[in-house]
Structures are given as C-alpha cells and as structure tokens.
Amino acid sequence: MFRRFAAYGFLKNLRFFEPFLVLFFLQQGLTFFQIGLLYTVREVSTNILEVPTGILADLIGRRITMVLSMAVYITSFLIFTFTSSFYPFALAMFLYGCGDALRSGTHKALILSYLKIKGWEHLKVEYYGGTRSWSQRGSALNVILASAFVFLTSTYRWVFALSVLPYLINLINLATYPSYLDANVKKGRKSGGFSLSFLRRSAYIKALLNSSLYMGLFKSTKDYLQPVLKGLALSLPFLLYTSGERRTAVLVGVVYGVIYIVNSLASENAYRLRDLLGGKEGLAINLTYAIGSVSVVLAGLTFHLSMAWLSVLMFLMLYVFQNLRRPITLSYISGTAPEGALATALSVESNIRTLYAAALSPLIGYLADVFGVGLALASVGAITLALLPVAFLKERG
C-alpha cells in the first residue's frame, strides 16, 4: 500500500494554481484584505465541517469520505476557472474548505490503520514521513509544470482547470483502496468502542494546540511568498523582454521547486531529527515550533527592509520545519487517541488549526494593506511565538 498512499499525496499536491493563488486574486483586482477574507471563508467552512466529517469517516468509512473530497475539490477548481469576482471566489473557497474538511485527518487515519493491521506501529514516523516525502515531490513537479504553463500562456486562470485531471486520477486511486482499511473502524463501532473521552486528556489538548497553532500560522502565511517573489522578479535584470507574469513564473518555478525538493528530504528524514534529540518527540515538536515562528518574523522583517532574498530563505525555513515536524507530531498525537476514533482526533486538531488560520488571515490582509506585507508577517509570527508556553509539550510517558 505504500505506493498507493504515496500516489495519493503526490496527486493531491498537483494543485497547479497554488503557487499563484494570491497573485491570481491580485490580478483580479482584489485587495489583501479581501484575499484574507477568502482564506477565512475556506478555513471557516473547514472548521464547521471538520469534526462532523471526521466522525462521519469513522462511522461510515474513510475511503468513501476521501472520494467525496476529491469530487468537491474538482467543483471548486471549475468555479475558479470560469468566474472573475469576489462572491463566486468565496463559493469556490467554501467548497475548497469542504474538501479539506472531508480529507483532513482521514487519509492519515487510513495509513495508521494499515500500520496497525501490519503490526508496524513503531514505524509511524518513518512510514508517514516516507509517504509525505512523495507529497513534496508532487509539489515540486506541480510548481515546475504550473510555472511552465503560466510562462507559455501569461495567465493564471487556466491552471485551475489543469488541476482537475490529477484529482480525477486520485479519485479513482482512492475509490479502489482495499476495504480492509476500514476494518478497525467497523470493529470499534460494533463493539461500542467509539468514544470522545480522549478529548479530556491533557496530553492530547497540548499536542492539539501545538500542532494547530503552528499549522494555522503556516497556512495563513505561506502564500505570501508569492508577492515577495513577484517583487523580486520585477527588480531583477533578467527576461526584461517578457511580461511581469512570465518573469514571476520563472522565479516562482525555481524557488518553489527548490523548496519542495528540500521539503521532500525533510519529510523523509524527520525521524533523524527525533533520533538526534534522543527520541524525544515533545522536544522536537517544541523546537520546530519556535524556529518556524521565528522564521515568519524574520521573513517579514527582511522583506520590509528590502532584503527579499533573505525573506525567501526564511520562507524556506518555514516550509522545511513544517515538514520535519509533521510526521513527528502525527506520531505524538496518535499515541494519545484510540485507533477507532483517530480520524475524529485528527479532525479536532485540524478544527483548532483552521480557527486560528481563519483569525490570522484577515488580520494579515488588513495589516498588509495598511503597513505592508513585511510588517504583517512579522506581527503574526510574533503572536504565534508568544503562544508557545501555552502549547509546550512534555514527553509522553
């Protein structure tokens, strides 16, 4: 199943519009605040549906839930392709959030179910890190193909339509997963083992906050690399005979390509960071939280001070530490929740994450319109760093 799981992540990350989403919205005449509102629509819709879809996945089947998520994503992409104003974009972002809610936590639960069936639970970090590395390879190919497409067409719009094809293939991949992956869920349901009592455990609450706050910061800030790259592309003396979109596409392709290749290596070797710290997962998670938050602060300050290349490097650190910490965080969380309710547990984690991202997104947009992108990023990075004591993890016993 490793190849099937890896294929899911690889195809899922072939969202050809993603490296240009903020630039697409700016091209359509939206302000940063409106863009922040669109991101909030996505996060709020995810938040509303997160726990219900997690429970649904645990009760009726995770494979069906994953197939439905692909169908909802495709609908969202088509709306983006054929519309040009804020309200249709809001509908598309709502559907995008629905897809995230259906997917988030569910596929990870399928992987962990498989490891439990095989008796490989001690390999959670290594196995999930390996599948996640293929997601990052998909992201690397994604940005190369998307940049080439934008360079050839000088438009961002049709990358949404292009994204439909890999999602159709992924729908078929997910629909043909073996049925035994839902066996533990059905067994737990028949025995009456499904329970939300784990939500009262302090270890899970702390893990939830740590993961959610960092992921919320990551989701709400990562796409601001795009205007940084656009400003840098327009200031560099290369391809002066081409349009601004084409010059930006070249630089986006190069920078994001490097980021995702490095991310792939980070995910694949996350267990090495854990082992380097003596197997202390809590320490690894706390450390990456702090470094990632500081990276956002420095990305903002360096961009504000017109040191764009340093800002790009700080964004690279943000991405790398997200991919180092995620397999370790998943291992930590899975140790605090029962198998039969794991999709629900991961959905609750994602629920808090989306709430935080929903709060940060319009704040960043407003601050970016008033004070500039750099100071907006620095502000939210500092806020997240200040919350680390609340989310500080102890080692699991």
Percent of the chain scoring above 90 in pLDDT = 42
For residues 97 and 183, the answer to whether their CB atoms sit within 8 Å is no
Q: If you average pLDDT over residues 155-177, what whole number do you get?
A: 93
Reported as a pLDDT band with limits 50, 70 and 90, residue 135 is: confident
214-231 residue pLDDT tens: 999 998 999 999 999 988
Instruction: At 300, give phi and psi (nearest 5°).
Output: -70, -45
Homologous superfamily in CATH for domain 2-391: MFS general substrate transporter like domains (1.20.1250.20)
Indicate the angle between helix axes 308-334 and 202-221, nearest 10 degrees: 150
Is the pLDDT higher at 189 or at 366?
A: 366
Query: pLDDT averaged over the chain?
Result: 85
Return the pLDDT at 197.
53
Rounded Cα distance between 277 and 248, Å, is 40
Return the pLDDT at 339.
57
* Torsional sign, CA 289, 259, 76, 100: negative
Q: If you average pLDDT over residues 169-197, what whole number do you get?
A: 67
Q: Is a pLDDT exceeding 90 seen at residue 393? A: no
Q: If you average pLDDT over residues 6-19, what whole number do you get?
A: 91
Take residue 219 and report the two structure tokens written for it: 């989701």
Rounded Cα distance between 377 and 363, Å, is 10
Return the pLDDT at 192.
44
Rounded Cα distance between 39 and 30, Å, is 13
Rounded Cα distance between 387 and 382, Å, is 9
Burial 2-33 (b: 16+ CB within 10 A, else e): eebbbbbbbbbbbbbbbbbbbbbbbebebebb
Q: If you average pLDDT over residues 81-94, what whole number do you get?
A: 95
How many other β-carbons are positioned within 10 Å of the β-carbon of residue 261?
14
Reported as a pLDDT band with limits 50, 70 and 90, residue 239 is: low
Task: Write down the residue that tokens 């993961």 correspond to.
Answer: 211
Reported as a pLDDT band with limits 50, 70 and 90, residue 138 is: confident
Instruction: At 305, give phi and psi (nearest 5°).
Output: -90, 15
For residues 234 and 247, the answer to whether their CB atoms sit within 8 Å is yes
- Containing H/E element for 146? helix 124-153
Give a three-class secondary structure readout of 306-319.
CCHHHHHHHHHHHH
Angle at 177 between CA 175 and CA 180, to 5 degrees: 125
Q: If you average pLDDT over residues 66-76, what whole number do you get?
A: 94
Return the pLDDT at 88.
96
Q: If you average pLDDT over residues 365-373, what whole number do you get?
A: 95
Q: If you average pLDDT over residues 66-71, what whole number do you get?
A: 92
Which of 26-35, 49-58, 318-327 has maximum average pLDDT? 26-35
How far is Cα of residue 198 from the mean position of the Cα atoms in its chain?
Answer: 25
Nearest to 99 by CA among 71, 62, 127, 77: 71
Reported as a pLDDT band with limits 50, 70 and 90, residue 160 is: very high
The residues, ordered by sequence, that sit 6+ positions from 18 with a Cβ below 8 Å of its Cβ are 142, 146, 223
